[in-house]
Structure 1
């Protein structure tokens, strides 16, 4: 009996050590520091910022007026909508003429947004505009913890929900990989590169299973560290003009492929 107890204790100790080692090996979960800040240390400006965000958490106001000005669709002219966060918003924001010249593509990116915010505004900023194709690029801000901790499963659930909503309304979907990133300057030390790779692998598998077009930005842009070289993203996250120039033809190819497919619900 003594020998048996020792064996059980040894097995328990080994299991505990393995669990601890596994936990230590996992990259830390990111959480916006403001969400963890003691209440008595929050500044008035930070309180005002949080109040403003909570008053319109998905930021429906950002494109409400612009959406109302979108002209009616023209027969034979496909409508394509880019949907995402700052990586999408900044694509041609300073010079809209550089955002796929002559194509008339719509840009509905909002800086800092996470997938739950994007899901909440999906009906207003995507479905209501009746695009033929929506190109979804999202997830990096979830990994960075912008609106709280997010697991990969949570990110996938939100993206799957967007895809399902689009397809239920006859919209073809291009699902883009998350761009490479080895560090967020506003959230250092969380080791995002392996999380990005794991999420992209899951998105690729989902796209293949669902018959979606998967847009692989990652393979064309990642460096040895799983991040972006300064030439492609000066801050390691947001593409430079050269970065967007690399992304543009990949996006065009994916859009062309999606437009060849039969719209969902019309088989």
Structure 2
């Protein structure tokens, strides 16, 4: 029995060591460093910050003029989940003192980029970002997760219906809380819930044609909020 206990203890210690090795203590898990210099260099508070993942990051890369013309600042990081965004929300949104934050997130949660997470807990993270924004006098805008029928990096997953369900939850929360909701999903989705092939090459990330659709949808919502703030 003693030998069995020793073997179990050794196995537990080995597993613990392996886990610790996999979680490099030098890793910036939330990627605070990504915008640290840019945040410090801001001469004034931005009007609108877009918090998101590669969908938003790709947007400013392909269409920087759209961001400049509308006074939008991106604080989006490719591959990030809502858990990571929530951790850096204070540094990359609150401390910039914008009037508005646009939150577009959830794709990578459904793809399990940082592990399995329920739709309810994804919504919890979004709600926490909203609450942080409101507590600091920042008006939040919530966006739908854009459509996707498959993830190239997680081919075993079938995300289309999970995205539809999550969007329904986000919209219901936004409606209940009086938060503007931006629906990218409806005009960009094919009948099977994937992204319309006219708007994407990989099924997840919009092309310039896809971003053109998004550019028709977001600014009117932002302008309505700006008008309300200006009253």
Q: Which TM-score band (shorter chain)?
A: 0.7 to 0.9
- Map 1:116-131; keep pairs closer than 5 Å: 116-131=83-98
Indicate how the Cα distance of structure 1 residues 62 and 167 shifts in structure 2: closer, same or farther if over 3 A, else same: same
Pick aligned residue for 2:159 from 192, 209, 219 = 192
Pick aligned residue for 1:157 from 124, 128, 148 = 124
Calculate the TM-score normalised by the size of structure 1.
0.75
Report if the CA contact (8 A) 2:62-2:208 is conserved.
no
| Deviation of the 1:104 alpha carbon | 2.6
Query: Partners in 1 of 2:172 and 2:228 — Cα distance?
Result: 19
2:206 counterpart SS class: coil
1:173 counterpart SS class: strand
- Cα root mean square deviation, aligned: 2.1
| Deviation of the 1:108 alpha carbon | 0.5
**Normalized per residue, which structure has more helix?**
2
The reply to whether residue 142 of structure 1 matches residue 109 of structure 2 is yes
Pick aligned residue for 2:32 from 31, 56, 60 = 60
Query: Partners in 2 of 1:173 and 1:117 — Cα distance?
Result: 18
Query: Partners in 1 of 2:196 and 2:164 — Cα distance?
Result: 17
Report if the CA contact (8 A) 1:89-1:110 is conserved.
yes
The reply to whether residue 70 of structure 1 matches residue 42 of structure 2 is yes
Residue by residue, what CA displacement relative to the aligned partner does 1:203-247 show, whole Å, maximum 9, x if unpaired? 111000000000001111110110112221100001000000110
**How many pairs were matched up?**
213
2:61 counterpart SS class: coil
Query: Partners in 1 of 2:95 and 2:143 — Cα distance?
Result: 22
Counterpart in the other structure of 1:89: 57
Unaligned runs of 5+ in 2: 1-14
Unaligned runs of 5+ in 1: 1-38
2:67 counterpart SS class: coil
| Deviation of the 1:142 alpha carbon | 0.3
1:183 counterpart SS class: coil
| Deviation of the 1:101 alpha carbon | 4.0
Residue by residue, what CA displacement relative to the aligned partner does 1:21-71 show, whole Å, maximum 9, x if unpaired? xxxxxxxxxxxxxxxxxx9xx9xxxx88x638x621100000000001111
Counterpart in the other structure of 2:8: none
Calculate the TM-score normalised by the size of structure 2.
0.86
Counterpart in the other structure of 2:226: 259
Residue by residue, what CA displacement relative to the aligned partner does 1:77-125 show, whole Å, maximum 9, x if unpaired? x70111100001111225623x334223100100000000000000000
Query: Partners in 1 of 2:96 and 2:67 — Cα distance?
Result: 19
Report if the CA contact (8 A) 2:201-2:207 is conserved.
yes
Indicate how the Cα distance of structure 1 residues 198 and 95 shifts in structure 2: closer, same or farther if over 3 A, else same: closer
Pick aligned residue for 2:208 from 241, 246, 249 = 241
Report if the CA contact (8 A) 1:173-1:258 is conserved.
no
Residue by residue, what CA displacement relative to the aligned partner does 1:174-217 show, whole Å, maximum 9, x if unpaired? 10000001110111132111100000001111000000000001
| Consecutive aligned runs of 4 or more in structure 1 exceeding 6 Å deviation | none
Q: RCO greater where, 1 or 2, for CA within 8 Å and sep 6 or more?
A: 1
